[in-house]
């Protein structure tokens, strides 16, 4: 019984640690991605809105360039035409955070060689009506011959309350996770 309780507690703890933000990708199933060797940046200006910090956009571009190189795509030379156009954007959304009180109750029971014990814990939290700014990083790889998106990937990330180095780490990790799915299998 004790082993079962311990195993269940471990499963619940580990499942609570999982993040819900995952990478979403889509691609043209009729495309042979092994034909693409070079890329250039989109000439459409990534217009920083008042919501998106221009430094975040810069971090996204820097991380994306590194990951595209690691994926086997090289920047085209200015006099060359590129096989793909790399485009990216960041959209912001505001999520309310705990706007009301919450209550939780936990009950545990254990038995050992000296007897058994039972414990109960009760927790209360009170919301402050704040919000958390989340970003969605979107990457698109476009065929320049017909301006069709051939591959896209996105990942939601939380940036609110993070230091510049934490934001860089978050962006780098997100771009790495997104480009991990390029080329599609």
pLDDT for res 178: 97
Spatial CA neighbour of 85 closest among 145, 143, 32 = 143
pLDDT for res 51: 75
pLDDT for res 35: 95
Structural domain span for residue 76: 21-98+132-179
Torsion angle, alpha carbons of 156, 181, 71, 144, to 10: -80
Binned at pLDDT 50, 70 and 90, residue 79 comes out as confident
Q: Which is it for the CA torsion 111, 112, 118, 124, positive or negative?
A: negative
The count of domains in the chain is: 1
Q: Residue 69 domain-assigned?
A: yes
Residue 156 and residue 23: Cα distance in Å, rounded? 8
> Which CATH number does the domain housing residue 151 bear?
3.30.160.670
Least confident segment among 71-80, 126-135, 143-152: 126-135
> Cis before residue 183, ω within 30 degrees of 0?
yes
* pTM, to two decimals: 0.69
Q: Residue 114 domain-assigned?
A: no
Q: Residue 81 domain-assigned?
A: yes
Residue 170 and residue 21: Cα distance in Å, rounded? 12
pLDDT of residue 70 exceeding 60, the answer is yes
Q: What is the pLDDT of residues 80-138, one digit of tens each?
A: 899 999 999 999 876 555 545 656 666 666 665 566 666 666 665 555 544 456 899 99
């Amino acid at each position: 019984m004790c082993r079962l309780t311990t195993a269940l507690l471990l499963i619940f703890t580990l499942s609570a640690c999982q993040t819900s933000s995952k990478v979403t990708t889509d691609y043209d199933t009729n495309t042979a991605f092994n034909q693409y060797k070079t890329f250039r940046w989109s000439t459409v200006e990534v217009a920083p809105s008042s919501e998106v910090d221009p430094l975040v956009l810069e971090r996204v571009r820097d991380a994306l360039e590194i990951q595209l190189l690691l994926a086997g795509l090289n920047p085209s030379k200015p006099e060359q035409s590129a096989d793909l156009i790399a485009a990216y954007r960041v959209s912001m959304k505001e999520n309310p955070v705990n706007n009301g009180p919450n209550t939780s109750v936990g009950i545990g029971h254990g038995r050992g060689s000296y007897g058994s014990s039972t414990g109960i814990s009760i927790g209360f939290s009170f919301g402050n009506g704040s919000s958390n700014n989340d970003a969605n990083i979107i990457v698109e790889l476009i065929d320049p011959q017909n301006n069709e998106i051939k591959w896209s990937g996105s990942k939601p990330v939380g940036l609110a309350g993070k230091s510049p180095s934490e934001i860089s780490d978050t962006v780098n990790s997100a771009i790495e996770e997104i480009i991990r799915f390029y080329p599609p299998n």
